Structure 1
Amino acid sequence: MIVGVGIDVVDVARFMTKLEATPRLMTRLFAEQERDLPPNSLAGRFAAKEALAKALGAPVGLHWVDAIVVKDEVGKPSLELQGSVQARAAELGIRSLHLSISHDAGIASAVVIAES
């Protein structure tokens, strides 16, 4: 059963300008293994984390670094949860997350479907 759906769209240039203007954001938003990625990938991962938060009901207290976007051997993205995000997913009875990320023409987008 679908518990939640989230979608987000990010303007890549605007997002990178914000990251450059506020260096602390990099460590607040991204796990260590995500931080050296190119702009399109960073924006896509941020969109994925925003979409995930929406699928989880956008509760207060989620930490962005508790959701990590990873890719399998063929490049399919998925989410690894820990800490605050994992606790919220467990609270909702979520057993499976589906993630799609895209970026084109300066825009990154992501959709997350959460299932019990």
Structure 2
Amino acid sequence: MIVGIGVDLVDIPRFERTVERTPKLLERLFTAHERELPLRSLAARYAAKEALIKALGGSDGIHWVDIEIARLGESLPPRFALSGSTAEVVAARGIGTLHLSLSHDAGLAIAYVVAESGGAADDAEPVEGGLDVPEPEDPEEPR
């Protein structure tokens, strides 16, 4: 059963200007692995984290660096890799599966998240378990 839906849209040039003005923001918002990616990819990941917070109904107990958006192969969709208190909050809310879609084009990045309770669907990634970080050679761009 769907228990939450979230969507977020990021203006990539505005995001890039903000990061240039406040570089420490990257450390507060992104994991070390994510910080290796180009800013347009970070804009999409920022949108994904915002969309997740909206799907969860709020940010209580959620920490930005406990959320990583991982790509585990070119033909596989991006997925959430949750850790720490964020993973605990998601589990406590009865969410068993998170669906994530990312895109960026024409200076905009968008993310859409659907949170489901109960068992995992065959084509979705369960949120149980620890942080699953992709290898550095994995593709950096959502498709």
TM bucket (normalised to shorter chain) is over 0.9
Larger-gyration structure (1/2): 2
Partner of 1:50: 50
Partner of 1:33: 33
SS at match of 1:76: coil
Pairwise CA distance, 1:83: 1.3
For the Cα contact (< 8 Å) 1:44–1:103, is it kept in 2? yes
Runs of 4+ in 1 over 2 A off after TM superposition: none
TM-score, normalised with respect to structure 2: 0.78
Partner of 2:110: 109
Unmatched tracts of structure 1, length 5 or more = none
Aligned alpha-carbon RMSD (Å):
1.0
Pairwise CA distance, 1:20: 1.2
Give deviations 1:22-57, integer Å, cap 9, x for gaps. Answer: 111100000000002112201000000000011111
Q: Distance in 2 between matches of 1:75 and 1:47?
A: 19
Identity %: 53
* Higher normalized strand content (fraction of residues): 1
Equivalent AA in structure 1 for residue 40 of structure 2 = N
TM-score, normalised with respect to structure 1: 0.95
Pairwise CA distance, 1:75: 4.2
Unmatched tracts of structure 2, length 5 or more = 118-143
Structure 1 pair 75–38 and aligned structure 2 pair: CA distance change class (3 A) = farther
Please give the residue correspondences for 1:1-116 in structure 2 after superposition, counting only pairs within 5 Å: 1-73=1-73, 74-116=75-117
